Amino acid sequence: MIYTSRYESPLGGILLAGDQEGLTGLWFTEGSRYVGQGLARDAVLRETEYFDQTKKWLDIYFSGRNPGFLPKIHLVGSDFRNRVGEIMCEIPYGKTVTYRWIADKIARERGLAGMSAQAVGGAVGHNPICIIVPCHRVVGTNGSLTGYGGGILRKKALLELEGVDLSRYTIPKKGTAL
């Protein structure tokens, strides 16, 4: 069974989804590319313990503080996408990494000579649990804030909320990240 709930954030409405194991989705409901992707049509509006944890986490986060814990999440996807999600969960609050950094980390773990940063970008871009699995903390090697399914202005706002110095980053003028 899939459950849903809603949360109102300072950056807009958020749809939460989960199953028996934990939170499986968190999307901004307006201006996001993949709202509810993979969500079953028979999902039931219902509160759960992990939705309560998630809302508490979001309340703390949007107050400008590091929540210091993760609600119970359930990454659902390929092994590769789940590993990218796990790595994103390791990015410290207020810090950023590049798609290339994640690709190099996975390549080392798998004993490969290299890995495509674009493949990582695809996995990051399809992250179904935004903010909590912090895909907004992943930036281009050239300093571009490219690649946020919730919109580039939200990515910028989330990084500012975390105290990231954005003076060394650029916002793309065109492309799919806008």
Known catalytic residues? 135
**73, amino acid identity:** I
* 123: helix, strand or coil: helix
- Cα angle 30, 2, 128 (rounded to 5 degrees) comes to 45
The span from the CA of 5 to the CA of 168, in Å, is: 37
The span from the CA of 53 to the CA of 57, in Å, is: 6
b/e code 160-176 from CB counts within 10 Å (16+ = b):
ebbebeeeebeeeeeee
CB contact at 8 A, 108 and 65? no
